[in-house]
Amino acid sequence: MTLLTDLEAVLPPERVTSDPDVTASYAHDEAEWAAYGTPVAVVRPRETAEVRAVVLACLEHATPLVTRGAGTGLSGGANAVDGCVVLSTERMTEVREIDPVERLAVVQPGVVNDHLRAAAAERGLWYPPDPASSPWSTIGGNVATNAGGLCCVKYGVTGDYVLGLEVVNGLGEVVRLGRRTAKGVAGYDLTSLMVGSEGTLGVVTEVTVRLRPARAQERTVAGYFDSVVDAGRAVEAVGAAGIVPSALELVDRHCLEAVDAWKGMGLAVDANVVLLGRCDAPGAAGEAEAEAMLAAFTGAGATWAAASTDQEEADALFAARRLAYPALERLGPVLTEDVCVPTAAVPEMLGRIERVAAHHDVLIANVAHAGDGNLHPLIVTPAGDAAARVRAEAAFEQIIDDALALGGTVTGEHGVGLLKRQGLARELSPQVMAMQRAVKAALDPHGILNPGKVL
């Protein structure tokens, strides 16, 4: 029997397709220039038992299996390889439980991040991880890359909220990892091992996450700066003042102009860089935090800074931050970086990015979760310009080297996928790389799970 025959025998007919026009649309994520192959089929299961059946069929036919969420990834982690089966979790969208006493939620991996946040809010609870793609990205995809977001400077990343997982491993076994209790140290922390593993160690079929109580209304502080380096100094000053903002985002003029041209939001500002800070401490403490952040901005050289009294205006600026990547895509291919450096190194790293742009003659627009040093330089190239692509790829690698030289890491939240594999080998020692390969071999002994990614 063929693989397709086996898949069609164990799954309902509407779950499996080999239509080339359909499979082509599942062949890659949003990573620019990351290689991808042609899938032999796409499967869209609804339940764990169906996922297990797919894994077993792929084992039987020695066929690679690539798991995909919403396809919003930016590192090529969900890209197909030739002859693989792509397993899309898009139909696994059930919010199975929200427990207001234990403050946790149990969801299938295809639940969109913002949908979980909305469901939690109905019970007076909050799910903090909020990547810029939160209106589209899924919890399973967030788990796969240990996604962060705007709030992570204060509240942490996806892995800080994952209590437990249901996973189909590389042998086709359904296993439960983690716990529902507040504490637990029973054996190795295999839950954390799965978080950020990009589908290379198992297929996540259910996620249990911790929730927090709903928080106080945020106060927004905006600052305009002449350069990214000045803005970086303001970020350093915020940290030095002991302020822990609920968000601290950097957006440069290139991004704001691209969003404005696309959405007509009236965002024209008299600055090359905007810093957007938020504080969510309640009452007088929040007011004091906002005042201290304002002083840090001003002291670092802001040409204008103020605490916003217009919530609609403040929300528009944060919306522009989320829209920066798709807006820039309208200008041409965008190669997206995701380095993270110590907060004190943010000014130097931003300066190095400017020098990389000049040296390689490329346009680099900057957005950043600046408060925790997670920078996203966006390298924009003209469509069809092969020489510009070569320069952009050289700039991409130089930015990685500069981040490592400053004590940083090659990826803060987008994952290694395909684009960061060379950088990973520069960051980790050969001994640590060998340890990671040993883990992969133990949990995926037949090598079918998302081969060629990460390591």
pLDDT of residue 112: 98
pLDDT of residue 131: 94
Is residue 276 scored above 80 in pLDDT? Answer: yes
Q: What is the pLDDT of residues 82-135, one digit of tens each?
A: 999 999 999 999 999 999 999 999 999 999 999 999 999 999 999 999 999 999
pLDDT of residue 263: 86
| Max CA pair span of the chain | 71
pLDDT of residue 268: 60
pLDDT of residue 216: 87
Cα gap 238→418, rounded to integer Å: 35
Least confident span in 10-24, 300-314, 373-387: 300-314
Contact 113, 129 (CB under 8 A): yes
pLDDT of residue 260: 85
Give, for 355, the enclosing helix (H) or strand (E): helix 346-360
Q: Which segments of 188-321 are extended strands (E)?
A: 202-210, 212-213, 219-225, 247-252, 273-279, 304-307
pLDDT of residue 314: 79
Instruction: Label the pairing between strands 65-68 and 85-88.
Output: parallel
pLDDT of residue 249: 95
What is the rounded end-to-end Cα distance, in angstroms, of the chain? 33
pLDDT of residue 261: 87
Looking at residues 174-196, what average pLDDT do you find?
96
More confident residue, 318 or 12: 12
Which residue in 43, 42, 78, 85 sits closest to 62, CA to CA? 85
Q: Which domains does the chain have, with CATH numbers?
A: 3-88 (3.30.43.10), 95-213 (3.30.465.10), 216-330 (3.30.70.2190), 332-445 (3.30.70.2740)
Least confident span in 154-168, 243-257, 305-319: 305-319
pLDDT of residue 271: 86
**Partner residues linked to 305 by β-bridges:** 223
Cα gap 18→32, rounded to integer Å: 25
How much is the pTM?
Answer: 0.95
**Partner residues linked to 207 by β-bridges:** 107, 165
φ, ψ for residue 247, nearest 5 deg: -165, 145
Cα gap 424→85, rounded to integer Å: 26
pLDDT of residue 101: 97
pLDDT class for 285, splitting at 50, 70, 90? very high
Burial track 373-391 (b if 16+ CB lie within 10 A, e otherwise): bbbbbbbbbeeeeeebbeb
**Partner residues linked to 212 by β-bridges:** 126
pLDDT of residue 264: 83
Cα gap 245→234, rounded to integer Å: 13
What integer best gives the mean pLDDT of the chain?
95
